[in-house]
Structure 1
Amino acid sequence: MKPSVPIVRRGSALASQLGLSERIFATSEDRVLARSIDAGLDRVEEGLLREVGFADTVADVTTRYLLNAGGKRVRPMLTLLTAHLGSGVTEEVVIAAEAIEITHLASLYHDDVMDDADKRRGVPSAQTVWGNSVAILAGDLLFARASQLMAGLGEGAIRLQADTFERLVLGQLHETVGPGPEDDPFEHYIRVLADKTGSLIAAAAQTGVIFSKAPGELEQPVADFGERIGVAFQLIDDVIDLSPQPQTTGKVPGTDLHAGVVTLPLLRLREAARSDAASAELLERLERDVVGVPFDPRDATASLVAELRDHEATASTLAEAHRWAREAVSALGPLPDGSVKKALTRFADTIVERSS
């Protein structure tokens, strides 16, 4: 019943791996902020281990499964960071950060069912171990637990959680159904990314402002930052999916394509294929041999993935990711100058540097 999964603890090294390193924490004020975030992340991790647990054995094993497998804790880190625009890492901020991360964790269970994913965080996906029904129910339990935590923070927190959950579901629905005949495929794709990824990152940044009692006028700028950097994050993931270095990315090149997941490089290639014979020929081979075709280590489709990686479609995706990251930083204009603004800017830079 219980698969062997190494429990990965997250702590003081986390801020550094996310770009909040000594490169930007040069002053004594910066270093105080870094230490506070690290201490807050330790508190969040303790809370996650406590909250993602159930008296029922089956529920307890399944809901802890992906938590124990690790994760970067990007969202709680953003909550703790923006909290320093107000009174810092209060108990309410920590609870909100836990709720946001549990919401994210729940969405992973459901995503893996929708995508029929074999692995998550280096271990077999929950639906591979227990089947779709148990994986869905484990995700539902985690969504319920996150809602309980938010309910303890008041009506505003409940509304934010509900609005974010609605966007998460709509994003998945629109991705599943695909664009309609009246929809621009690129606008549709970006909207899916904004809902599926951007909305929760926006909520993470927003809760830090709200529950640290920072000035209310800072709430929308950090939410805008979070949503835009979420889109940039996913666009970079589209590029990383084509990376020839699986030992670095943790993914076989073309994993998303083999799973039938539409990515921006593929959309851009389809656009180019309308007027360029070489692009049309590459698209035909990809859609015949790679897109939606299960990966087989014995085949030679890696060369097709490499051709897409070298195509202008991928270069334009990378440029689009950089544009969204720049717009995320621009949204920070109303924030006061200081360590928080500098750290958020560096975080945006780190997101797009992942592809290099």
Structure 2
Amino acid sequence: MSDLQAGLARVDTRLHEVVQHDDAFIAAASAHLLDAGGKRFRPMLTLLASELGDGINDDVIEAAVGVELTHLASLYHDDVMDEADVRRGVPSANATYDNATAILVGDLLFGRASEVIAGLGAEAVRIQARTFVRLCQGQIQDERQAPAGADPMTHYLGVLADKTGSLISTAARYGAMFAGAPDKTVDVMVRYGELIGLIFQLADDVLDITSQSQQSGKEPGTDLREGVLTLPVLYLRESTDPADARLLELTSGPIADEKQVQEALELLRSHPAVERARAHALQLADEAARLLDPLPDSAAVQTLRALPYQVAGRSA
């Protein structure tokens, strides 16, 4: 995997080049979350998917950079909407600067991402634009409950597919596409990436309950404070056990009292709903791994087959 590590180093160098600005304040604000680190999961997937074709090349690197810039930009906006204080273990951009600066820097990074992707041709721009629409659509729907008559579980999974799955799907698609992989292989990576995104978000939602510290990069219980319906809470709501009455009461909406947040976390951590959510993530991991069955066996395919289980295992 030395090629992968070398490729990620190239992506990181290029990211720092792209966020540079003549204005020192804008440069610092643009690099705030980039310098905080992060998993670089999306560019890693782009580079890995390229091994299903001819491997890493300049276009693959640029595509990986564009995807990561889009992700970084979305984090600036997410933190404003969530009123977050911490991101990636450091003060969030909105806490470090202010909401207006965080929003504008997020917009600037979206522009930088579009500029990078524009260098890859019209088809790449079209894919980027559709991905951006789905990202925004998912965020809008995430702020609302399921519409009247809609199944809450279906609504929830649809939100995850849009707000998280869409960009990870594009990351995988770009990698295969710009490495010259066959169209059928690119199609597999589109669906594979979306499933990885679902698994990734499900694991995050479980970690928001089970982590004892800022293991997930955010304060545990963030979703409970905001009243966000995640999979463990949706499974909890199916309960008819009288013993769950207090937990159901606590999770009926946003929790403003910190003692009640901690009480809800303790009760949820030992509740079967959390294990059901983990099992759901593992079912999706099985589905993602099976998608790769038609592809010729290779080291890259073996790594991609193991990846969904590694992502799901983050919540274990």
TM range (shorter): over 0.9
- Structure 1 pair 54–242 and aligned structure 2 pair: CA distance change class (3 A): same
In the TM superposition, what are the counterparts of 1:244-259 in structure 2 within 5 Å? 244-246=211-213, 248-259=215-226
- Structure 1 counterpart of 2:247, from 244, 262, 282: 282
1:74, CA displacement in angstroms? 0.4
Q: How many residues align?
A: 316
In the TM superposition, what are the counterparts of 1:1-356 in structure 2 within 5 Å? 34-246=1-213, 248-272=215-239, 275-287=240-252, 291-293=254-256, 295=258, 299=259, 301-356=261-316
Q: Deviation per CA, 1:254-289: give whole Å up to 9, x if none.
A: 2321233321111221222xx33222332113447x
CA distance in 2, matches of 1:328, 1:292: 35
Maintained 8 Å contact 2:138/2:159: yes
Maintained 8 Å contact 1:232/1:324: yes
Maintained 8 Å contact 1:239/1:355: yes
CA distance in 2, matches of 1:300, 1:84: 49
Q: CA RMSD in A?
A: 1.6
Quick check: 62-71 or 124-133, which moved more? 124-133
Question: How high is the TM-score relative to the length of structure 1?
Answer: 0.85
Residue identity over aligned pairs, in percent, reads 47
Question: How high is the TM-score relative to the length of structure 2?
Answer: 0.95
Maintained 8 Å contact 2:46/2:171: yes
1:335, CA displacement in angstroms? 1.8
Maintained 8 Å contact 1:260/1:293: no
CA distance in 2, matches of 1:333, 1:87: 20
Maintained 8 Å contact 2:37/2:88: yes
Aligned AA (1:314): V
Q: Which runs of 5+ in 2 are unaligned?
A: none
Report runs of 4+ in structure 1 exceeding 6 Å deviation. Answer: none
Name the counterpart of 1:29: none
Q: Which runs of 5+ in 1 are unaligned?
A: 1-33
Aligned AA (2:302): K
- Structure 1 pair 194–46 and aligned structure 2 pair: CA distance change class (3 A): same
